[in-house]
Amino acid sequence: MLELLWLLLIEPIRQALLYVLEAAHGLSGSYGLALVILSLAFNLLLMPAYHLAEIVQQRERAIQRRMARKVEEFKFAFKGQERYWMLRTLYRQNHYHPVYALRALLPLAIQIPFFIATFGLLSAYPPLKGVPFLGLADLGQPDGLLHGINLLPLVMTALNMLAVHLHSRDGTRAERVQGHVIALVFLVFLYASPAGLVMYWTINNLVSVLKSGFYAMRRGAAREPAGAPGPSWAPQPAPSIGWLARLHAAISASPGRLYGLTALALFVFLGMALPITLTGLEDNVDGLVGYITFFALCSAAFALVYGLLAWGAYRLAPPRLRSLAVYLGLTLLLALLAYGFGYQPDAGVLDNFVFANPQALAPAAAGVLADVLVLLACCAAAAWLLERHPEWTANGLIVLTLGSLGMGGWSLYSLQERITRKSEEEIAGGSKLFNYTRGGKNVLLLFVDGAMSGYIPDILREDPQLARKLAGFTWYSNVVSTGNRTINGLPALFGGFDYTVSQINQRAGDSLKDKVSAAYRIYVENFAARGYQVLYSDPFWFGFARKGDCELFNAQYQASGQGSCIHSIGKQVAARKARVREGSGLDLFRGLAQQYFSVALFKVAPRSLKQAVYGGGQWLGMSYSWKNKEDKYLNNFFSLDSLGELSGTGATRDTFTFITNELTRAPLFLKDDCLPDRSLTSSDQRLKLLMNRYRSGDTTAIYQTTKCTLQALGRYMDWFRQSGLYDRTMIAVASDHGWVSRNPVLSQLPNQVRYSMFQSFLLFKDFNEPGKPLPDLRESREFITNANVPGMLCQSIGGCLDKTTGKTITRQRLQGSVLLHETPWQPSGQQPGRYVVEALYSVRDDITQPQNWQVIQPRIEP
Amino acid sequence: MTLTLLYLDPGTGGLLFSVVMGVVTTAFFVLKGLFYKVRSLLAVGGARPIAEVASGADTAAARLVIYSEGAQYAGTFGPIVRELMRRGIACTYLSSDPQDPLLRLGSPLVRSRCIGKGYAAWGELNTLRADICLMTTPGLDVMQLKRSRHVRHYAHVIHSPTDKAFNRPYSFDYFDSVFICGPHQERTIRHLEGLRATPVKALFLAGCVYYDDMATAYRSAATGSASVNAKLPRVLLAPTWGRNGLLSRYGMEAITPLAQAGFEVVIRPHPQSRVSEPQLLDALQRQTRGHANVRWDDASGPLAEMAQADLLVSDISGIVFDFAFLTGKPVLVLEFAVEKRGFEAADLPYEPWELEVLDVVSRKITSADLSRLPDIIASETANHQRSAAIASLREEYVRHFGRAAPQVVDHLEALLAG
């Protein structure tokens, strides 16, 4: 929280001061003069705040003076409860409350960030070291002018005390004593500070003397006329501009109600409903058990604080300020609604809180003009509503609040429903999720989301032992995927070539969901028909649910005994995660809540401010991207690494198992133990070798993550061997697509990074003859795709019948070229009955050769 | 990340201290208020009705509620309730005193109930439902007694002829109307309204209701009474209680000259003296045993003694005006220094009425005069101009003397109709 405050409040001021200091240095050529200019500029900037503070303090003094006689009288005449009642009524009749002393906080709140920023900047500013100025030998050291005694702090204190004297001449003795004590405290505090800093404050105090002298003279002048009534602190009514006066009059009819409703609507809409609605769009609810309670408690706590602050501000504010608050609040609310539900720039897919196309957020002149017009329209609409239709406005605010509560409530409910689904429940410790048979055949399809085989040669060079661990496997270096996303690449891994984007789009049918989901049925129906026990773990996008709709799957296949579906990613890993993660599970919740609040702010921000809110993925310092990615990484890494522990040999019949892991979709810089380390950056010496090799931080992270994935796979294969299952198990490890990176296998392509999206991953091992020695992992240069995998697996049962097409899927060599499709990543980006093809390419034969790639439909960049 | 210490210039430093003090004071004030409020809330529900008279006028009864602190105000509310009954107007009568005789009127028009004292009573009254609530209790919305949101109109009925200068501050500020006795009370209330910018109240010039019964009772008491010793005046010594009281200030110094002069002296101490200063009274009673012409009177009403007395010796007690206005006989008042702090008088730019007119209704004496009291008394009883001056003062400042209740009920009727 403190860091956030620092980032939002102090750092911008510090930067501004630094800019002024450096600009002044550039102009004057002297840091001494630059400090003088900085001090004057600082004082000039804070002049209005000081003026406001002075007015507030004078008001307080005047009202205290006015009541002093009665207060003394009551203290003499009454005691205890009776004195309290009398004083309370006195305050009431003077429209005063002790809490009004807090009005003084406003100017203070404005000034404090400046003080902190200036002090932080100058107390250790390296360029001041060794710089002489006037009689000062070194602005970076204490002056020591009086035979080693620092003179400047004494001068500063003398000026400080003079300022106190002038400032509190009209105040009480206590005020004067306080002022002098503060001056002495700061003498002690600053005595040994660098001369540059003390000089800065000395100039500040000089300005303070002038200011205090000016105000003292003015107060004296104000008291001059004999017989004039006591100081009137009440703000003089400003000359009213017609519509403002009308607006104030209209709001004044029921200011409390309008204020309360506006404040409530703002909080409920922006603070609660929008963030939780956006959270509800989260496709991955892993680890969110308890989040709803957390969010509800947080909202209640914030509501309490916000409510008290809003109430306090209302009680403290004079009537005109209350009206102004209502007007500005309503204007803000209208603007939030306009931007929240109106035009949004297309910055592309938001993947782990990073936009695919952030340049679309760049502010443009037309955008600024449009924002000004929208805001002016909101100002006008708010004024019109409040002046002409205050009752409508109140009703509208109630409707908005209730609507927001409804929207938020529904999102919470649906989120909770997803979080608490049976398939999402944690499994008991020691349970075996995956069971294989020792008496028959096992077929395993391990799906590694977004993995690329292009990194395998480098990995094998770095970890040669892997070739032995993966003995009997063939790795395919010339492999591509027919899609660039899971939603368009994974169906072919289930259904083969009839489930590429083009084939699905060509097939009749109103529901893309049904057409895609049909692919997932082929293994179930065919292997079950041959007596296999079929298990799908996280069949992504089945039923168009990102992690796969296990409830739908089980409803269709579990009762008939054909197959079952579970979610396994992130299960049984909490203890291991807790050992390596900093902080508690609440940190995850807090980070997520902050992230979604910042996304909500982004959504309602004016067009020209959106880039500032996004801040290159920093989200106003509330980015949860890394932590979120770390969480995803750890869930998947530990799940992959635990496969052996979660597997058993209790199956009584042949098995077909599909397991998903998306470790390769959470690439991070890793330590040698494969655990992420946030302190690692692309400039870190430990990554120098890899950075030199790949010339990209992202690619380096992908390499490291892929290596750890292969090593974890190797350990799983060890388990198979130790369990006596290795020879009787056909294993395919395949991916659905690649990812943008400097994929080494495509290094000769001018479009290496983009085409890397289609460079997928395939390892295959057939059943082996028991006891026969297996060769180490070997490479195949066969041109192959993800769509070939079903044929390879179905071959084990003599082919699979696809009831949708009537064709039988068997292993076939790839002929000719393959179409590669780019589509949006999510169901909502598609048309109801077909994929939206954003770009189309083809490749044939050797994918390392540029001439084999062809652009058929280029992508149109926004 | 650590925050560096901040430096403040004098203005801001002072401001910071003001803020800190403000926060502390506010917190203290708010917590104190909360404490009193919670205490009030916790005490709610302590009321136990002891006299519930069924009537067929429940709905109408809720429209007019009269609240009395106790039997001592029966003289004020009795005439009003009876006048209401005479006109067939229903009301609810709430009292904090189970001994209040008005709880037992037995009229179907009056629904009466004892609501207990202190927090129990305040709890009930603060959530009262009525069109009009009439009371003699000052300090509405200032002390514990708050305006109920469900009462349309709060009316205060003044129960003494004096100016309200010696009430606590803000006694009448939050009433909607006040039944006053005379123009002196209007002057003070209007002045305070202007000074404090509080809403302008309706002021009904109705008179002092408790004189209604008193005047009648006094007339019958006076008819059958005559001074025992026709030669020497009979002196009623009726002081107030506490440190300003004549007895506590001068004791036997005031009594002895009267006793030695042979006057028939009746000492009637303030009822509160028996509670607050019993040792003083016991000592004085012992010392006066040797004087056969000195008698102590503790009867519940003062009227019999007032009727028989030829002169009253007092201090700042309210009996001064009652005695003067009912009997027209002379009064001697021991001069006293007035402490205005803690009273409405502190906010008045003029002397309170009771001090202004003290010379009209009485003769002021000092402690130096005590030794020659017999001469002064003789002179005063022979002064027949005093009686005329008192009658004139009563005429001007205590309107509708002896018939104020019908005036009050006239206005209540109008308020109910409005």
Q: What is the pLDDT of residues A737-759, one digit of tens each?
A: 999 999 999 999 998 999 999 99
Predicted pLDDT of residue B400: 94
All residues of chain A having their beta carbon less than 8 Å from the beta carbon of residue B30 are 98-99
Residue A294, number of CB atoms within 10 A of its CB: 17
Comparing C-alpha atoms, which of A15, A19, A186, A5 is closest to residue A112?
A5
Q: What is the DSSP string of B75-87?
A: HHHHHHHHHHHHT
| B230 interfacial to chain A (CB closer than 8 Å) | no
Q: Who among B15, B32, B173 is closest to A53 (CB)?
A: B15
Contact A6 B30 (CB under 8 A): no
Biggest CA pair distance of chain A: 116
Residue A39 amino acid letter? S
Mean pLDDT value across residues A552-556:
92
Q: Who among A93, A115, A164 is closest to B7 (CB)?
A: A115
Q: What are phi and psi for residue B216, nearest 5 degrees?
A: -65, -50
Residue A506, number of CB atoms within 10 A of its CB: 10
Rounded Cα distance, A542 and A787, in Å: 17
Contact A208 B9 (CB under 8 A): yes
Mean pLDDT value across residues A767-793:
92
Q: Who among B6, B26, B196 is closest to A119 (CB)?
A: B6
Contact B5 A101 (CB under 8 A): no
B25: confidence class by pLDDT, cuts 50, 70, 90: low
Q: What is the pLDDT of residues A784-828, one digit of tens each?
A: 999 999 999 999 999 999 999 999 999 989 888 999 999 988 888
Contact A93 B144 (CB under 8 A): no
Residue B38 to chain A, least CA–CA distance (Å): 13
SS3 of B68, please? Answer: strand
Q: What is the pLDDT of residues A625-638, one digit of tens each?
A: 777 788 889 999 99
All residues of chain B having their beta carbon less than 8 Å from the beta carbon of residue A78 are 342
Paired strand residues for B205: B180
A107: confidence class by pLDDT, cuts 50, 70, 90: low
Residue B352 amino acid letter? P
Q: What is the pLDDT of residues B235-254, one digit of tens each?
A: 999 998 877 788 888 889 88
All residues of chain B having their beta carbon less than 8 Å from the beta carbon of residue A191 are none
Rounded Cα distance, B388 and B157, in Å: 28
Predicted pLDDT of residue A109: 61
Q: Is B376 left (phi over 0), alpha (psi -120 to 50) or beta?
A: alpha
First to last CA, chain A: 37
**A835 close to A488: Cβ distance less than 8 angstroms:** yes
DSSP state of A133: B
Comparing C-alpha atoms, which of A828, A736, A213, A183 is closest to residue A491?
A736
Residue B274 to chain A, least CA–CA distance (Å): 24
Contact A163 B9 (CB under 8 A): yes
Which two structure tokens, joined as six digits, stand for A744? 């080494």
Predicted pLDDT of residue B77: 95
Rounded Cα distance, A178 and A155, in Å: 19
For chain B, give the mean pLDDT: 83
All residues of chain A having their beta carbon less than 8 Å from the beta carbon of residue B20 are none
Predicted pLDDT of residue B13: 45
In this structure, are strands B150-157 and B177-180 parallel, antiparallel, or unpaired?
parallel
Rounded Cα distance, A332 and A338, in Å: 10
Residue A467 to chain B, least CA–CA distance (Å): 47
All residues of chain A having their beta carbon less than 8 Å from the beta carbon of residue B25 are 98, 101
Contact B13 A178 (CB under 8 A): yes
Q: Which of B4, B9, B19, B341 to mutate to test the interface with A (most CBs of A within 10 A)?
A: B9
Alpha helices in A145-269 (DSSP H): 151-167, 173-190, 195-223, 242-252, 255-266
pLDDT surpasses 50 at B403: yes
Comparing C-alpha atoms, which of A432, A443, A442 is closest to residue A642?
A432
pLDDT surpasses 70 at A652: yes
Paired strand residues for A483: A821
Contact B11 A89 (CB under 8 A): no
Contact B7 A84 (CB under 8 A): no
Contact B10 A73 (CB under 8 A): no
CA distances to A62, A483, A501, B125 from A759, in Å: 78, 10, 16, 83
Alpha helices in A78-172 (DSSP H): 80-93, 105-122, 151-167
Q: Who among A70, A98, A111 is closest to B12 (CB)?
A: A111
Comparing C-alpha atoms, which of A673, A672, A696 is closest to residue A683?
A696
Residue B230, number of CB atoms within 10 A of its CB: 8
All residues of chain B having their beta carbon less than 8 Å from the beta carbon of residue A102 are 19, 22-23, 26
Comparing C-alpha atoms, which of A576, A723, A711, A712 is closest to residue A647?
A723
Q: What are phi and psi for residue A507, nearest 5 degrees?
A: -75, 140
**B87 close to B110: Cβ distance less than 8 angstroms:** no
pLDDT surpasses 80 at B177: yes
Rounded Cα distance, A786 and B326, in Å: 117
Closest residue in A to B146 (Cα–Cα): A85
* Enclosing H/E stretch for A319: helix A319-341
First to last CA, chain B: 69
Comparing C-alpha atoms, which of A352, A482, A449, A480 is closest to residue A756?
A480
* pLDDT-wise least confident of A7-21, A66-80, A100-114, A790-804: A100-114
Rounded Cα distance, A392 and A202, in Å: 57
SS3 of A29, please? Answer: coil
* pLDDT-wise least confident of A436-445, A669-678, A736-745, B58-67: B58-67
Residue A258 to chain B, least CA–CA distance (Å): 22
Q: What are phi and psi for residue A569, nearest 5 degrees?
A: -65, 130
- CA A663 from chain centre, in angstroms, equals 20
Which two structure tokens, joined as six digits, stand for B218? 């006094």
All residues of chain A having their beta carbon less than 8 Å from the beta carbon of residue B144 are 85
In this structure, are strands A817-822 and A839-844 parallel, antiparallel, or unpaired?
antiparallel
Residues 6+ apart with CB under 8 A from A298: A593
Contact B33 A76 (CB under 8 A): no
Q: Who among B10, B170, B197 is closest to A212 (CB)?
A: B10
Residues 6+ apart with CB under 8 A from A612: A605
pLDDT surpasses 60 at B117: yes
Which two structure tokens, joined as six digits, stand for A150? 């620092």
Predicted pLDDT of residue B8: 37
Mean pLDDT value across residues A114-123:
78
**A652 close to A34: Cβ distance less than 8 angstroms:** no
Predicted pLDDT of residue A477: 94
Comparing C-alpha atoms, which of A791, A796, A785, A793 is closest to residue A811?
A791
All residues of chain B having their beta carbon less than 8 Å from the beta carbon of residue A108 are 12, 15-16, 19
Predicted pLDDT of residue B54: 38
* pLDDT-wise least confident of A365-369, A420-424, B140-144: A420-424
Contact A167 B143 (CB under 8 A): no
Residues 6+ apart with CB under 8 A from A579: none
Closest residue in A to B4 (Cα–Cα): A120
* pLDDT-wise least confident of A727-741, A789-803, B265-279: B265-279
| Residues written for chain A | 862
Contact A182 B13 (CB under 8 A): yes
Closest residue in B to A54 (Cα–Cα): B11
**B42 close to B56: Cβ distance less than 8 angstroms:** no
